Structure 1
């Protein structure tokens, strides 16, 4: 039975069942980075997406649907979506990528079903202006490191358009609100511009309401500054998805979890 993440941070390698797979997820709880340990939001978001992901797949397409995740952490959501048949671009900062994310993806490829999608890992530093992003580098889309050289061999690289954008446990500092929303907006715009249907993909953002003021500022900025339509997924739907995933926790174990859907009008 799955336990809430806050009860398992002392465990160096988690045995984590998801659908027909079992993942073995290494984590660090050394205080260096929030992204090197499992958090509650990733648990809830992966289970919710497992229930609704199929409605976001392009109809009558033989190409696997494509998702980009911001702040992939130890890789749970990326592995979950891959197991569901999605091609996943898992992004984070170098410390997380080198310490847990790459290791967990590589060590769990054998645990994925034959129908799984691919997973690629790439650095995406939200603080880098989108004007400086590059899609000719399968190591880093946006990096603060000047030592990462670009190259043009991007065969198979999971660049836009994306059918889905997701992120969990990435709202914990006021300084990150603008960079995060700007990154969402840019990925939506690039996807809409390069999509056959001209549609911006939905963004699913899972947050834990530790600081209500911070959350309200994020949601207000998403709507008023960046033009997103903002809608909270009803708690009953999240609860139902978790129960279908085999999770039955006391309500106080995850009372602060919220999943929000952000969408851009197609004509943006």
Structure 2
């Protein structure tokens, strides 16, 4: 059972000094997370009209064409065989976006190196598609990248969407590689996102997480995106600003 709440703009003193970029040259970085079909593209596209914001979509086109090889299609058609190859390339492409230069003071990314590790790699390992040694290698790469490369983020926006709604949207958009995605897979990914972003001990306590009800119709979601935009704009300069309180909390 889901309880729907309106996102509330609460005027609170919320200092971002300790959470801002260590490298002053890095823009205020926001990553948009959520299940497949949660509405991330809709969220990202909304920001394209702002001159102060650089948007970076998930590099699906790259995954579909690696020197003529469609890794996304291979992942869904032969998951055991393609899992290691696919996630290795996901790591590479996500780090590339994390490090991509932009002149704008705000950077909004669709997914991140972190969700690749905590949700998708974890899911593949739990289901036996990544063997122990493969999982260990990906994890070592992840830890090395986090330690040696500036892939830090300043805010996470989580589009919290029920697996059933996500499946409906996947079918509507009709991406060929995803047509056979089962509900059980989306439920597993949902649980991993919840564990990573909403659990009390999730390892990301230093980064604020904004939770938006992803089950809403587009017009309602746009209202919440506008409020979220205000929060991002207010806090890009490490100032005291408004904080979006969590919404759509499961009962």
- Name the TM-score, length of structure 1 as normaliser: 0.30
User: What's the TM-score, normalizing by structure 2?
Assistant: 0.32
Higher relative contact order (CA 8 A, sep 6+): 2
User: Higher helix proportion, which one?
Assistant: 2
